[in-house]
Amino acid sequence: MKPRAGSKALIREINEALVLDIVRTQAPVSRARIAVQTGLSAASVTGIAGKLVHAGLLVETEIVHGTGGRPARLLELGREGVFAAGVRLSATEAHAVVVDLRGEAVATHSEPLASTDPGDAAAAAARAVRAAAGGMAPRLIGIGVALSGVVDQASGLVRHSGAMDWTDVAFQGLLEDVADQPVIIDSYVNAYARGLLFDGSFKGRELIIFSVGTSLGAAVVVEGRIQRGFNGSAGGFAHSRAITGPEPARPCHCGAEDCFETRGSLWGMQRELERNGHNREVNPDADSSLIADAALHLGIGMANTAKVLGPEQVVVGFAPEADLGSFAEQTKQAFLCQYDHANTPPPLFDTAVAHPVALARGAACSVLAGLFTARESQPSDTEAGESLPA
- Distance of alpha carbon 142 from alpha carbon 159, whole angstroms: 22
Count Cα atoms within 13 angstroms, Cβ side, for 139: 18
Q: Are 165 and 116 contacting, i.e. CB atoms less than 8 angstroms apart?
A: yes
Tell whether 223 and 329 lie within a shared domain. Answer: yes
Tell whether 129 and 29 lie within a shared domain. Answer: no
Statement: residue 362 has pLDDT above 60: yes
Statement: residue 380 has pLDDT above 70: no
Residue 24: CATH number of its domain: 1.10.10.10
Q: Establish if 316 belongs to a structural domain.
A: yes
Tell whether 56 and 153 lie within a shared domain. Answer: no
Tell whether 73 and 93 lie within a shared domain. Answer: no
Strands 157-161 and 166-169: antiparallel
| More confident of the two residues 388 and 147 | 147
- Distance of alpha carbon 68 from alpha carbon 58, whole angstroms: 26
The angle at the Cα of 295, spanning 289 to 299, to the nearest 5 degrees, equals: 150
Statement: residue 299 has pLDDT above 60: yes
Tell whether 94 and 129 lie within a shared domain. Answer: yes
DSSP, res 251: B
Closest listed residue to residue 204, CA positions, set 125, 313, 299: 313
Count Cα atoms within 13 angstroms, Cβ side, for 33: 16
Q: Establish if 382 belongs to a structural domain.
A: no
Strands 157-161 and 150-152: antiparallel
Domain boundary among 78, 107, 137: 78
Q: What's the domain count of the chain? A: 3
The per-residue DSSP string of 265-298 comes to SHHHHHHHHHHTT--S---TTTTHHHHHHHHHHH
pTM for the full predicted model: 0.86
Helix (H, G, I), strand (E, B) or coil at 169: strand
Residue 246: CATH number of its domain: 3.30.420.40
Segment 103-127, tens digit of pLDDT: 999 999 999 999 999 999 999 999 9
Contacts of 73 (CB under 8 A, 6+ apart): 30, 60, 61, 62, 63, 64
Quote the pLDDT of residue 377. Answer: 39
- Distance of alpha carbon 349 from alpha carbon 68, whole angstroms: 49
Segment 170-207, tens digit of pLDDT: 999 999 999 999 999 999 999 999 999 997 778 778 99
For 113, 214, 294, 296, 297, the CA distances from 286, given in Å and listed in that order, are 31, 19, 14, 18, 19
Structural domain boundaries enclosing 330: 200-355
Helix (H, G, I), strand (E, B) or coil at 72: strand
Range 96-104 average pLDDT? 97
Percentage, residues of the chain above pLDDT 70: 92
Amino acid at 41: S
| More confident of the two residues 205 and 302 | 302
88 forms bridges with which residues in the sheet?
A: 95, 146
Tell whether 163 and 106 lie within a shared domain. Answer: yes
Segment 215-232, tens digit of pLDDT: 999 999 998 899 988 877
Confidence band of 23 (pLDDT split at 50, 70, 90)? very high
